[in-house]
Amino acid sequence: MSPAEPLLAAPPRDALWFPRFGAPPPAAGAPGTRLICFPYAGGTASVYRDWRERLVGAVADVAALQLPGRGLRMREEPYTSAGPLVAAVAGELVRRGLTRDYAFFGHSMGALLAYEVACALRRRGEPGPRHLFVSGSRAPHLYGDRAEHLLPDAELRDFAAGIGALGDGDRALLNSAYLDRRLPVLRADLEVCNGYRWRPRRPLDCPMTAFSASDDPVADAAEVEAWRAYTTSSFLRHHVQGDHFFLTGDGPARQRLLRELRGELARLPRAAGTRSEQREPSWTY
């Protein structure tokens, strides 16, 4: 009889939701705002892997959300509906004690999730984000009029290429095994977006900053500007040169995005309250 296979320890639950990328976490109770980042449809937490270094001095940490169906969560079924996904993310943030002195950033689907999670946390009586950054996304009430998740695989590949998901010179990926593995996650995420229906609620009370791109076929400038109605606080929109995925790579649009984020986060006033009044977060990602 052959020896039994060694048992491999499953990654801790925290590492599934918020994987770390190199830099150790700050000490528990360290002052400063934490930026929690939400991925776009089909995306992974790794798109934000260098943001902590890029935003050093402006934030205490960057926590990038990893959704089921990708990375260490590859074997988990991705969500196909916004309601259960939002509830799961909000619950995880509360469980981890990450709902104090934090800001949200979301791109495309991630912006929609960030908004809905902020609303869910408000319903639970949790502190809201100190700032909400939305990027490459129509305002929530403009969702629900598309059906790309129903496209056959070949047309879904073409759609991904058409919005810039494959990057420059990556048309060869259209027929690759890699893209075949990613299509189910992309399709599920698009179903989350396309099945979403906004329901009227009072606006958030945190400042909001929106980013639109000149050649974005998914969210034009007017559709991004429509986020203005979703806050009773200040609203600022930046318009950059680029396509829907201007936050990837290292071009001028991404550099400007990070520069604006750094500036606005650095200007946030210190959060009210003392450590004795607040729950200590769990920093083991």
Contacts of 44 (CB under 8 A, 6+ apart): 66, 70, 71
Helices (H), the chain: 13-17, 51-54, 82-96, 109-123, 153-162, 177-194, 221-225, 252-266
Is 233 catalytic? The answer is no
Task: For residue 174, give the 3-state DSSP assignment.
Answer: helix
Contact 60, 31 (CB under 8 A): yes
Q: Determine how many CB atoms are found less than 10 A away from the CB of residue 168.
A: 9
Q: Which residues pair with 212 in a beta bridge?
A: 239
What is the enclosing helix (H) or strand (E) of 136?
A: none
Measure the CA–CA gap between 111 and 117, rounded to whole angstroms.
10
Contact 217, 244 (CB under 8 A): yes
109-123 helix and 177-194 helix, angle to the nearest 10 degrees: 50
Measuring CA to CA, which residue among 36, 42, 219, 128 is closest to residue 227? Answer: 219
Task: For residue 12, give the 3-state DSSP assignment.
Answer: coil
Measure the CA–CA gap between 137 and 119, rounded to whole angstroms.
17
Q: How many residues would you count in the chain?
A: 285
Annotated catalytic residue, options 2, 81, 108, 137 = 108
Rg of the chain over Cα atoms, rounded to whole angstroms, equals 19
Measuring CA to CA, which residue among 111, 41, 112, 48 is closest to residue 79? Answer: 41
Active site residues per annotation = 108
